[in-house]
Amino acid sequence: MKVTLDKIASVTRNARIPREVLLDDEIAAEEGMVLAVRIHGKKTVYNQVEDVHGRMIGLNDGDVIAAVLGSRRALRGYAGVVPASVKVGDRLDVLNLGGVVGRCTSVNLELGKPLQAEVLGQILHFPHLGERVGVPANIKDGAVPWSQTLEKSAPIVYVAGTCMNAGKTFACGEVIRFLARKGYRVCGAKLTGVSLLRDTLSMVDRGAVKSLSFNDAGVVSTTGKVSVPVAKGLINALNKEEPDVLVIELGDGILGEYGVQEILHDEELMNAASAHLMCANDPVSAWGAVELIRGRFKRDVHVISGPATDNAVGCDFIENQIGVAAINARIEQDRLGEFVEKKVFGGKPS
The domain limits of the chain are: 2-136, 156-345
Three-point CA angle 51, 74, 245, nearest 5° = 70
SS3 125: strand
* pLDDT score of 349 more than 60: no
> How large is the angle between the packed helices 198-205 and 168-181, nearest 10 degrees?
20
* pLDDT score of 348 more than 60: no
Segment 98-114 mean pLDDT: 93
Which candidate, 208, 216, 215, 212, places its Cα nearest to that of 173?
208
- Average pLDDT over the chain, rounded to whole? 95
pLDDT value, residue 129 = 65
- Superfamily name with CATH number, domain 156-345: P-loop containing nucleotide triphosphate hydrolases (3.40.50.300)
Partner residues linked to 190 by β-bridges: 213, 249
Q: Show Cβ contacts of residue 169 under 8 Å, excluding neighbours closer than 6 positions.
A: 198, 199, 202, 249
The string of pLDDT tens digits covering residues 13-71 is: 999 999 999 999 999 999 999 999 999 999 999 999 999 999 999 999 999 999 999 99
Q: Strand order in 245-249's β-sheet?
A: 210-213, 186-190, 245-249, 156-161, 273-279, 303-305, 325-326
β-pair type (186-190, 245-249): parallel
The string of pLDDT tens digits covering residues 180-218 is: 999 999 999 999 999 999 999 999 999 999 999 999 999
Sign of the Cα pseudo-torsion (107, 109, 111, 114, in order): positive
* pLDDT score of 131 more than 70: no
β-pair type (135-136, 116-125): antiparallel
